[in-house]
Structure 1
Amino acid sequence: MSTSLAVPVDSAAQPWRGRDDGPGDAHLRWHHVVTTEADRPGPWDAAFVGFRSDEGVRRNKGRQGAANGPRELRAALASMALPTRLTALDAGDVQVADEDLESGHRRLGDAVAALLDSDSPVIVLGGGHEVAYGTYLGLRDSAVVRSGGRLAVLNLDAHFDLRDDVRPSSGTPFLQMARGEEELGRRLNYQVLGVSQPSNTEHLFRTADSLGVRYLRDIECGLLDVAEVDAFTDAFVDSGDVLHLSIDLDVLPAAVAPGVSAPAAHGVQMEIVERVCARIAASGKPLVVDVAELNPDLDVDHRTARAGARLVHRILTSRHAALTAGA
């Protein structure tokens, strides 16, 4: 019997390449540890899958180009130096074609479920923020959630993404999740950090309140608000057994993340966002992360790609360090 991990994707992963300073772990970078061959079932210290989609952004009347985000996030992460050797799998990409977002969501869900069931933390490289609903489908269908694990979702975002549109888009994923949980007799545990009041109508705030959404506004997430941010983050971690961290890069200030469909006039400082990510990762709980809205066509000096890659790097190295220390 084969012991390889079967992950359904549309295109196979390409080998990672990057800076090479010499042999041995003293010169270790991500591209040295990522394999594209799922020749064992896991677990891995990191499992990557890409979601090449612009369709949700197009439907939401945003600036398209995020379908190339996975390629740029991989390139930015590849040369980042590792403090210790990890094991990592790149499973390849799910690609939305012919405007068929719904089918792409289902395929992404199948891929996420397979990777999470291998007992690995999963990193989904988007793509527009419609990626979050596909990620949710995988979490919903994973063994740990089907067996009763409580799902908790934290969105780092300037927007609630709770639009009630006729067709799913990059503005609807968390309302889709809420309705999906209602169909299963559950209430979605959804929380948001970094919400911008000028970017969300009063109707969206009322929708969030009706769904019981906990949130911190961007003006409540400054460097002088660390204690409040830590308390919010810790309460999120405690509220679930399985954690879904959705990172819309427009949560960051425009100077840090210019390459997004809707750059933030205010945003949450990188120091705070990175602190939140590390704190969640260090919990060691089953974790799926999606990174959304990187548009390489709009980026400046790869700033947004590097910011997104640094957050992924911090999540995975913090998680590994915490699990190793607790072993």
Structure 2
Amino acid sequence: MTLWNGRIDAAEGAGGLRWHQVIQTYDGSQKLALIGFACDAGVARNQGRIGAAQGPDALRKALANLPVCGGMPADAGNIGCDDGHLEHAQACYTEALLSMLRNGTLPLGIGGGHEIARAAGRALYQAYPDAVIGIINIDPHLDLRLDNQASSGTPFRELAEDCAQAGRPFHYLCLGASRFANTRALFERAQQLQADIVYDTELLEQPLSATAESIRKFCAKTDLIYLTVDSDCIAGNPAVSAPAALGLPLHIVEFIVREVFASGKVRLADIAEYNPVYDRDHQGARMVARLFAVMADEAGKYSRITQNGTRQRSRRQYR
């Protein structure tokens, strides 16, 4: 909690409050919680630029001075990774999320590398064994790579294999995939898994209404959604493990996040790959902090809805 400090506008009263003045330590009772996955061992295995393990704490500093204007998560701390033991760190993160989900908390994760997705997806599958779960990934990369060890490039292929072993359907939508950032083998695997893809060029050229329709169509076949955002999807963001050549303007990424939450089915969300080592003048920190604040705002609406019981989120009620 020592990371949460910043400017105080005392003369403004309650209307001048910032995140660092109101955020609480997570105690299991809050409906919304921030949790860090301070790990980039998967990035190292994937031959990316390490440094994302510092992302959760760096992002807390960037969030600290934001004005209070929407959902406010409690802080559940970090799950770390010692000596490159990725699988152990992922197991610990899964257990932490499971505890939150069973408490009725909506977790918002901060990576760390995109290996966070394998641990997060497993938690949701375990918490809701009878639910039809959809994964929405905003990312230039499909992250379906075949490898002999887990990495930041393998999480969704691993989750697909988990589903196959359990006899569950695997529903995966990648928004913003780049034709020039994925090999033919990855596209063929996506086709084999019947994954849905909307390319970066499509998102840039089509009206927002068409993007919203793609999201609604995907969400309609699921009970619950896991939303994950690789921050290298943001055009011009320097603070990432694998910079995108094109990327998406931040306003399009925000629009997608809001549309996914509007489904009322998001039960878990995170942002991955923020790498402060390569930031310039805190530009990346500001981008990712803003996006995380949008996510928290939308998740806060979700928490109020589920508490009041005013929206039917799916064919069945999963709490």
TM-score, length basis structure 1: 0.88
Counterpart AA for 1:62: G
Cross-structure match for 2:91: 106
Displacement, 1:301?
1.5
Equivalences for 1:186-225 in 2 at 5 Å?
186-222=168-204, 224-225=206-207
Cross-structure match for 1:116: 101
What CA distance in whole angstroms lies between the structure 2 residues aligned with 1:141 and 1:33? 32
Cross-structure match for 1:42: 29
Inter-CA distance 283–82: structure 2 relative to 1 (3 Å threshold): farther
Q: Does the CA-based 8 Å contact 2:234-2:247 persist in structure 1?
A: yes
Q: Identity over the aligned pairs, expressed in percent? A: 35
Gaps of 5+ in 1: 1-12
What CA distance in whole angstroms lies between the structure 2 residues aligned with 1:88 and 1:323? 11
Q: Does the CA-based 8 Å contact 2:39-2:53 persist in structure 1?
A: yes
Inter-CA distance 176–35: structure 2 relative to 1 (3 Å threshold): same
Cross-structure match for 2:267: 287
What CA distance in whole angstroms lies between the structure 2 residues aligned with 1:101 and 1:193? 26
Cross-structure match for 1:26: 15
Equivalences for 1:81-96 in 2 at 5 Å?
81-84=67-70, 86=71, 88-96=73-81
Inter-CA distance 157–15: structure 2 relative to 1 (3 Å threshold): same
Displacement, 1:68?
0.2
Displacement, 1:315?
1.8
Q: Does the CA-based 8 Å contact 1:119-1:286 persist in structure 2?
A: no
Q: Does the CA-based 8 Å contact 1:223-1:272 persist in structure 2?
A: no
* Equivalent residue pairs, number: 306
Inter-CA distance 119–82: structure 2 relative to 1 (3 Å threshold): same
- Aligned partner (choices 51, 76, 81) of residue 62 of structure 2: 76
Inter-CA distance 161–82: structure 2 relative to 1 (3 Å threshold): same
TM-score, length basis structure 2: 0.90
Deviations 1:244-285 (A, max 9, x none): 1111011111x2x11112211111111111001012223333
- Of the structure 1 ranges 282-291 and 259-268, higher mean CA displacement relative to structure 2 is found in 282-291
What CA distance in whole angstroms lies between the structure 2 residues aligned with 1:258 and 1:87? 27
What CA distance in whole angstroms lies between the structure 2 residues aligned with 1:237 and 1:119? 21
Q: Does 1:16 align with 2:1?
A: no
Q: Does 1:180 align with 2:126?
A: no
Deviations 1:130-178 (A, max 9, x none): 1111111211221xx12x2221100100000000000100000000000
Cross-structure match for 2:253: 273
Q: Does the CA-based 8 Å contact 2:37-2:53 persist in structure 1?
A: yes
2:134 match: secondary structure: strand
Displacement, 1:112?
0.8
Two-structure CA RMSD over aligned residues (Å): 1.8
Displacement, 1:87?
5.0
Cross-structure match for 2:238: 258
- Of the structure 1 ranges 265-274 and 309-318, higher mean CA displacement relative to structure 2 is found in 309-318
What CA distance in whole angstroms lies between the structure 2 residues aligned with 1:59 and 1:30? 35
Gaps of 5+ in 2: 311-319
Counterpart AA for 1:36: T
Q: Does 1:301 align with 2:281?
A: yes
